[in-house]
A and B are shown apart, each in its own frame.
Chain A
Amino acid sequence: MFTKSAALADLLLGPHGVDRYLELIRPTLTVREARAVVVAKRHQTARSVTLALRPNAAWQGFRAGQFVPVGVEIDGVRHTRTFSPANAAGNRRELELTVTLRAEGRVSRYLREGIRPGDVLHLGRAQGEFVLPEPPPGRLILVSGGSGITPVLSMLRTVLAEGHDGEIAFLHYARTRADWLYRPELETLAGRHPNLRVRYLATREGDRHLCAEHLGEPAYAAVCGPPPLIEAVRQLIPDVLAETFTPPSVAGGSGEGAVHFTLSGRTAGAGDGSLLERAEAAGLQPKFGCRMGICHTCTCRKQAGAVRNLLTGEVSDAPDEDIQLCISVPAGDVALEL
């Protein structure tokens, strides 16, 4: 019934579709596009912001540990970054993001300074394999470093909300005490759940880095944080469930760099010419038209890496941006959806 009336509505409201009209009444009224309104904003530390969001009905939810593409519009341009929610999965009307400011991070700066309650964010589909098995193992070790706390906190909150009664060790590492995230919340949880053991460590203020003594008895472990932390856990618990953040690639200025074509699995080594020419040299046949940057026929999704626009000199270095192949050259390694 719903799909039939939706098809009829799309025909009547075609070719734009029902969301393009609903959003004019209220941006979060869309039925196909997931969006969320910012309901509260607070700062746990000097370098972070915690946003409480209320997703609309189109939001499909997430599994604890997954990340979500979040789109925010800054000066007319939609920027999309992925964040792992920190709240318990299950309630689709709630989403909590804690974002740590990155140097030169345009989006994190905007989320920290520019955004206001009432603003609307765009949500993509939750992704990622950093999730606990179903049902969760009886004994758990949850380890995080820095801003990696959010997905493991989501795991903790989720299993506790589901009535988990096995022993859980929650370890969090940050450089200084001032960087500790969610300490009061964790203490409250520990007070309420005798099976939860919480430990916060400040590695630049005398606390030790991760060691066997911190982990205690071996158990099923999940860790999210910088690569050295993951490595340290893996030394002790080889089959640990782990996730790290991929640092953004640094944009160089030249046309050098390998170009990976992800759909075809091909690669073009270092060389000359536009990305269109290099794709063709690698045996691909991307669609093209004018070959001079005016017709936008060769527009292609760049999944990772940096490219420079030959007409404007502008560098695109964020993941998942559309670029024009015929007037772009790589600035470092690039992954293209071709």
Chain B
Amino acid sequence: METAMLTETQIEELGQELDALRNRVVADLGERDAKYIRNVIKTQRGLEIVGRALLEFGWLPPAWLGGTAALSLSKILDNMEIGHNVMHGQYDWMRDPALDSKRFEWDTACPGDQWRHSHNYMHHTHTNVLGKDRDIGYGILRMSEDQPWRRRDLGNPLYALLLALFFQWGVALHDLEIDRIESGEITWADKRDILRATWHKGRRQVLKDYALFPLLAGPGAPFVLSGNLTANLIRNVWAFMIIFCGHFPEGTHEFSEEEVENETRGAWYLRQMLGSANLTGGRLFHILSGNLSHQIEHHLFPDIPAHRYGEIATEVRQVCSRYGLPYNTGPLHRQFGSVVRKIVRLALPGGAGRPTEPATDRDPAAPEPAPELMAA
């Protein structure tokens, strides 16, 4: 494959450099990483217990506020820094059954098994390939000018808002492939197992958050219910924002199925770099984003422990600059702002137009990337 900027040899060299970086990190994994994830888990479980305990006294406003905040943080940590990352196999090397990617379950409606398929395989293998990566719009939103416009896309901003508010259910129903059912490509019967598993997991989650814990509080039940509802909502909106900032800010690239045919390992790496965008922020912000703020590093090395991404970011950035590749990064407000603009603009027919401000924080020494980097 020849690109406008990199020769085939350069792409292979890029792949080898990144493989070498990966191997260096893998060889260094040990006690430190085990301690890190167990500390995060301890913090999350602590926040969960404190949050749920405080909410039992939710009729006291400070207890409600504190409980809801603690439970929100617990759910965010559980889903992002623990669940997402453990299920990627980032800690499989520890051989601890409690941290086994195949068996881990998280505190959200989506069954782990479905996530492992739709995310680890579909999204991470086919990242940003139109027609194959179902994360482009979740089968609901129009997120690329290359997706043909339909009248229903007028509702793009509304659908995005609903998806953000009910994100755990959006994720849970991701594998249902509702758009393919709608188009008649597949039937509801094809998805019976998916529905059953989602029903089983979702029911337990609903029962726990909206029936059992509220009932434990007796007359205080409404306060527990509202606290749990708020915590789930906060987690939903936060996860939506972080995840949509991973691949949709201005400057990220999409690919066609033809472009990625017979793709080499080096070209796969290149696609991950071009299709992902980072977020800047402090240490706590990175942890609460599940280190998905280092989306580029995550997409290059989805199965190395996420707290390592920050440590290798400088090196990845240097590689990008050496090969003249963009390294798309910026603060949350700017990246998310550009995602929102895209969602709104694509509600109408036509392309994405020009960004109103540069969303890509590019190395000034690096040459401007060609618009079609992967053009054959």
Cβ of B45 and Cβ of A15 under 8 Å apart? Answer: no
- Chain A interfacial residues counted at CB < 8 A: 31
| Residues in B whose Cβ lies below 8 Å from that of A312 | 23, 26-27
Which residues of B have CB within 8 Å of A297?
116-117, 120-121
Q: Is the CB of B101 within 8 A of A76?
A: no
CB neighbours of B22 from chain A (8 A): 311
Within 8 A of A (CB), among B17-63: 19, 22-23, 26-27, 29-35, 41-42, 45-46, 49
Stretch at the interface among A56-64, A254-262, A271-279, A288-296: A288-296
* CB contact between A14 and one of B32, B49, B120, B204 (< 8 Å): that residue: B204
Partner of B120, one of A12, A78, A289: A289
Candidates B30, B102, B107, B124; contact of A299 at CB < 8 Å: B102
Interface presence of B261 (CB below 8 A): no
| Minimum CB distance partner of A293 in chain B | B303
Q: Which of A77, A78, A293, A294 contacts B30 (CB 8 A)?
A: A77
B contact face: mostly helix, strand, loop, or mixed: helix
A185 contacts the other chain (CB 8 A): no
Whether A322 contacts B26 in the complex (CB less than 8 A), given A11-B212, A295-B120, comes out as no
Cα A295 to Cα B100 with chains together (Å):
13
Determine the chain A residues whose CB is within 8 A of the CB of B213 once the complex forms: 12
Which residues in chain A, 89-142, are within 8 Å of chain B measured between CB atoms?
none
B185-219 Cβ-contact flags toward A at 8 Å (1 or 0): 00000000000000001001101100011000000
Question: Please, which residues of chain B bring their CB within 8 A of the CB of A16?
Answer: 45, 105, 107
Looking at the assembled complex, report how far the CB atom of B138 sits from the nearest CB atom of chain A, in whole angstroms: 19
Return chain A residues, CB-CB under 8 Å to B318: none
Within A154-175, which residues are at the interface with B (CB < 8 Å)?
none
Complex interface: chain A residues within 8 A of B302 (CB): 294-295
Judge if B125 is at the interface, Cβ distance under 8 Å: yes
Question: How far, in angstroms, from A303 to B201 measured CA to CA in the complex?
Answer: 31
**Structural contact, B125 and A290, CB atoms closer than 8 A:** yes
B196 CB to nearest A CB, Å:
17
- Tally of contact residues, B, Cβ under 8 A: 48
Contact with B along A321-335 (1 / 0, CB 8 A): 110000000000000
A76 to B26, CA, bound (A): 13
**C-alpha spacing A15/B125, complex, angstroms:** 28
Is there an interface contact between B265 and A292, defined as CB atoms closer than 8 Å? yes
Q: Is the CB of B101 within 8 A of A78?
A: no
Quick one: CB contact mask for A65-87 with B, threshold 8 Å, 1 for yes? 00000000101111110000000
**Structural contact, A299 and B106, CB atoms closer than 8 A:** no
- Contact (A76, B125) CB under 8 Å given A12-B208, A15-B107, A299-B89: no
Q: How far is the CB of A287 from chain B (nearest CB, A)?
A: 9
Report the bound CA distance from A79 to B30 in whole Å. Answer: 13
Given contacts A15-B106, A20-B45, A294-B125, 12 further A-B contacts (CB under 8 A): A11-B204, A11-B208, A14-B105, A14-B208, A77-B30, A78-B96, A80-B95, A295-B116, A297-B116, A311-B22, A314-B26, A322-B102
Interface, chain B (partner A; CB < 8 A) = 19, 22-23, 26-27, 29-35, 41-42, 45-46, 49, 88-89, 92-96, 98, 100-102, 105-107, 116-117, 120-121, 124-125, 201, 204-205, 207-208, 212-213, 265, 268, 302-303
